[in-house]
Amino acid sequence: MTSEMAADMTSARKAMVDSQLRTSGVNELFVLARMGTVEREKYVPEAAKPIAYMDRAVPLGDGGYLPSPLFHGKMLAEAAPKADDNVLVVEGGSSYLTELVTPLVAKVDTISADDAASKAGRKTYSLILVDGAIEQLPKGLAKRLEDNGRIVTGQITRGITRLASGRKVAGQVSLQSLAEMGVPVLHAFDKAEEWSF
């Protein structure tokens, strides 16, 4: 990347913070610092670098997306990661969210959406971040959350995507919708079609 292109990306990153995050109520200093530092252009294909900072999801190919900056900003603000958190990131294909959260917490593990939707694991986490919208939270993923642990995800209900968060209480996780926004759908979490007569 030429120095001119790098300068353009630095300007685009600052504009993202000032024009997309701050104006939408994302003002937590740790969020602005991370998103103002991590280079989104490194997490998209070469052809998509010029649009890495636009205010919508960037296609990555093979069905993956880098969600919009606002989704990640609001997700981090809602999650409020702590230095002692043990975090599981369910990847949407870019690894950008993992890079954002890693310096803020004690440990980060990642898992693909396909594996998170279909496999149960023994290890538990104090915080789970899902990098996309899910139609349902599978039991196997819910089991990975510690008691009193938090989850922040996109959620799809009747075709509408929203940011949602929840906490595990008495072995149960329930999600509460927070804000309607465009979030790429992780189809590994789609509900099976049901037939009714």
The CATH superfamily holding the domain 56-189 is: Vaccinia Virus protein VP39 (3.40.50.150)
The CA radius of gyration of the chain, in Å to the nearest whole number, is 17
More confident position, 196 or 135: 135
Instruction: Write down the pLDDT at residue 196.
Output: 53
Residues 188 and 196: their CA atoms lie apart, in Å, by 23
pLDDT > 60? residue 195: no
Model confidence, pTM = 0.92
Task: For 51-63, write each residue's pLDDT tens digit.
Answer: 999 999 999 988 8
CA atoms within 13 A on the CB side of 119: 10
- Rounded to whole angstroms, how far apart are CA atoms 55 and 196? 40
